[in-house]
Structure 1
Amino acid sequence: MTRQRIAATYELIEPHVRHTPLITVEGGEFSLPCSPLRLKLEFMQHGGSFKARGAFANLLTRDVPDAGVVAASGGNHGVAVALAAQRLGLRAAIFVPSIASPSKIDLIKRFGAEIHVGGDRYADALAASERHVADSGAMPIHAFDQPETMLGQGSVGLEIERDADDIDTLLVAVGGGGLIGGIAAWYEGRVKVVAVESDGAPTLRDALAAGRPVDAPAGGIAADSLAPRQIGARVFPIVQRFAAPEVVIVSDDDIRAAQHALWAALRVVTEPGGAAAFAALLSGAYHPSPSERVAVLICGANTTAVDFES
C-alpha cells in the first residue's frame, strides 16, 4: 500500500470519478477555534460517497468472471459497486442488512444490481454474500479490507494534497477502515490523520487497545456506514503505523448536531456517517491548537432524513 500504487490506481479510475471540491470556510461560521477550515466535499462523489473510488479500482484492476461481482455493504459500498458495474457493463449482486437506509437501497436498485436485504448488521450481509460467492463463482469486492478498495480510497488523500498541501491535520470517519487506511498510506505520516468513530461502534479504538482487530459493538445512528464488527485486518497495521495513535469518539447527539450545523451554515446535507468527522471538531472532542491547519472529510450524503426549512 504505497503512494506510487495509489497514484497509479488514481490514473485508472480518474476518468470514472469526480475530483470533489475542497472548500475553505471560516471557523467563526461554526464557532470553532481553527480558521480557516478546509472541508473535502467527498459526498459529491458519484453514488453519494467516497466508495465509488474503491469500487472502480476493483473492477478496473481485477479479472471479473462472467458471473459478475458481489458485495456486502451497509449501503454506500453497495451503491458504489452497483454504479461501477452498471457503467462497465457487469453483473452485480449486493447484500445489505435491514438497517440500510432506504435511500441507499433505492440507489442500488436504480443502478440495476440484484439486491438482497437481510440480517440486522453488516456482518450478516457479509456472511450471506460469502455464501453467494461460493454458489455462483462471482468475484467478491470487500467494502474495506481489500487492497484494491484501499488503493482507490487512498486517492481521496491524493486529491486533498493536490488542493491543499499545507494542512497539518485531517479528520476522517472510520467504519471498517478502508478510507482511513488508504489516506494514511498516502500521507505516510506527513499529515496527522485522525480517526473519528461513533461511540456505538468503536471498532478501531477497541482494536488499538487490544493490539489487534477484535469484535466491537455495532450500533449507533451511523450503524449503516460506520459499524462493521471489526476493523479490517489489512487496514489495521497501516493505521497503526501512519495514523494518529488516539481515536476521537463522538456520540449520536454530536453527529446530529454536526448534520444540523452543516445544513444551517453551508446548506450541505450529509448522512450521519458523513458528518461524524466534523462532529469531532464541532463537539470539542478534537481540540486543535490555535495555529493548527485542519481539514475535515465529509464523506457521504445518502439519506432521506432531511427536514428542509421553509
Structure 2
Amino acid sequence: MVTRAQVESAQERVLGRVRRTPVMRTPSAWLKLEFTQHTGSFKARGAFNRVLAAFESGEFDGDTGVVAASGGNAGLAVAHAARELEVPATVYVPETAPAVKVARLHELGASVVQVGHEYAEAYEAATKYAADHGSLFVHAYDQPDVVAGQGTIALELEDQVPDVDTILVSVGGGGLMAGIAAATDAAVVAVEPMDCPTLNKALSAGAPVDVHVSGVAADSLGARRIGDIAFELATRKGVHSLLVPDNAIVEARRRLWREHRFVVEHGAACALAALTSGAYLPEEDERVAVILCGANTDPSDLG
C-alpha cells in the first residue's frame, strides 16, 4: 500500500532533483507538462525517490550500483538519477531495443546489457544480476518508493490548479496512475489504448492478468500485466478505466503539435485522447487536468 504521507515524504526527498513542471490552461482542461521533466518523462521522480530512500534506510550504500530493466523511459530515468547521485548504473534491455535509446543510455553513463527479445527476458536477467551482486534493483513501476515518487506530480498539481475535480492519466504498468491515486482526493481516470488494456482487463477479472499488447503506444504503455501496487490502488480509490483507439491517440498527439507545438509520445497523448475523442465527457463546471507524461518520440511524422 502506498499512501499520501509516503508521497509527501517523496516530495521532500526529491526536492531540487526533479523539475517542477508547468501547467497550461486550454478550453477543455489544464495540461500538466510533465514531458518537460528530466530525460523527457515523469520516470525521473520515481527513480530518484527509490535510490534516495534506499540511501536513507541503509538498504544501499552506492558501491554496488543500481540496476534496471528497460529500454525506454524508466531506463533513461534510472541512468540519469544514478549519474546525478554518482553511483554506477546497469540497464538491461532487449536485443530489439532501438539503437537510439541504447545510445542515450550510454551517454548517461550506464552500462547497457542486451538480453533476449522481450522485456521479460531483460527483467529476469536484471533481477538475477541485482541478487548476485547486491545491487539496488529499481523497478519500472511496481515498487512503493517508485510509485510514491511518481505521485509527487499530483502534489504539484494541487498547488498549481486548486480544486481539480478529475485527473486523466495514461496507464502502462500503472506506476504513475497509482502514485497520483495515492496522493489525491480528485477522481482519477485511467486511460489506456484499446490494444493495451492492462488495467482494464485486470479490473474486469478482479486481479492482475497477462494481456496481449500492441498498437501505436505499445513502446511506452505496453506492459503485459498491471503492477500489483497499481491494481490495489485502482481498486481502493475507485479509479475509472477508459479505453481509446489508436486513431484517437494519433490525432490527439497531432493536435498537441498543431495547436501548441508540443511534441509528445503516443503514450502521453493517450490521456488527452479521452477528451478529444469524446470517450470522457466532463460535466459543465468540472475542472479537469491531463497529465502529458512523456516526450521520447520521433517527431518526423508530425509534419
Which band: TM-score by shorter chain? Answer: over 0.9
Contact 1:100–1:224, Cα closer than 8 Å, also in 2: no
- In the alignment, what sits opposite 1:72? 69
Which letter maps to 2:53?
A: T
Q: What is the CA distance between 1:122 and its match in structure 2?
A: 2.6
Residues 288 and 177 of structure 1: CA distance in aligned 2, closer, same or farther (over 3 Å): same
Q: What is the CA distance between 1:117 and its match in structure 2?
A: 3.1
What is the SS of the residue equivalent to 2:7?
Answer: helix
- In the alignment, what sits opposite 2:281? 287
- 1:25-44 equivalences in 2 (<5 Å): 25-26=26-27, 35=28, 37-44=29-36
1:214 aligns with 2:209: yes
Q: What is the CA distance between 1:235 and its match in structure 2?
A: 2.0
Contact 2:71–2:102, Cα closer than 8 Å, also in 1: no
- In the alignment, what sits opposite 2:130? 133
Contact 1:194–1:243, Cα closer than 8 Å, also in 2: no
Residues 280 and 103 of structure 1: CA distance in aligned 2, closer, same or farther (over 3 Å): farther
Q: Deviations over 1:152-189 (max 9, x none)?
A: 001000001111112111100001111110100001xx
What is the SS of the residue equivalent to 2:188?
Answer: strand
Which letter maps to 1:211?
A: G
Residues 297 and 102 of structure 1: CA distance in aligned 2, closer, same or farther (over 3 Å): farther
Long gaps (5+) in structure 2: none
- In the alignment, what sits opposite 1:223? 218
Which letter maps to 2:44?
A: A
Q: What is the CA distance between 1:98 and its match in structure 2?
A: 4.9
Cα distance in 1, alignment partners of residues 302 and 251 from structure 2: 15
Which letter maps to 2:83?
A: Q
Residues 255 and 247 of structure 1: CA distance in aligned 2, closer, same or farther (over 3 Å): same
- In the alignment, what sits opposite 2:296? 302
Contact 1:170–1:295, Cα closer than 8 Å, also in 2: yes
- In the alignment, what sits opposite 2:8? 7
- In the alignment, what sits opposite 2:50? 58
Identity rate, percent: 47
- 1:79-94 equivalences in 2 (<5 Å): 79-94=76-91
Contact 2:93–2:119, Cα closer than 8 Å, also in 1: yes
Q: Deviations over 1:70-128 (max 9, x none)?
A: 10125100000000000111111112235545543332121010112344433232122
Which letter maps to 2:265?
A: E
Which letter maps to 1:236?
A: F
Cα distance in 1, alignment partners of residues 96 and 26 from structure 2: 34
Cα distance in 1, alignment partners of residues 23 and 208 from structure 2: 32
Q: Which of 39, 43, 48 pairs up with 1:47?
A: 39
Long gaps (5+) in structure 1: 27-34
- Compute the RMSD of aligned alpha carbons: 1.6
Q: Which of 159, 163, 174 pairs up with 2:160?
A: 163
Contact 2:263–2:299, Cα closer than 8 Å, also in 1: no
Cα distance in 1, alignment partners of residues 200 and 282 from structure 2: 20
Q: Deviations over 1:274-299 (max 9, x none)?
A: 11101111111212222221110000
With 252-261 and 145-154 compared, the bigger mean Cα shift is at: 252-261
Q: Which of 90, 108, 115 pairs up with 2:112?
A: 115
Residues 239 and 137 of structure 1: CA distance in aligned 2, closer, same or farther (over 3 Å): same
What is the SS of the residue equivalent to 1:71?
Answer: strand
Which letter maps to 1:10?
A: Q
Cα distance in 2, alignment partners of residues 83 and 113 from structure 1: 9
Which letter maps to 1:24?
A: R
What is the SS of the residue equivalent to 1:229?
Answer: coil
Which letter maps to 1:225?
A: S
TM (norm. structure 2) is: 0.93
What is the SS of the residue equivalent to 1:145?
Answer: coil
Count of matched residue positions in the alignment of Structure 1 and Structure 2: 297
Cα distance in 2, alignment partners of residues 15 and 275 from structure 1: 28
- In the alignment, what sits opposite 2:192? 197
Residues 46 and 206 of structure 1: CA distance in aligned 2, closer, same or farther (over 3 Å): same
Which letter maps to 1:22?
A: V
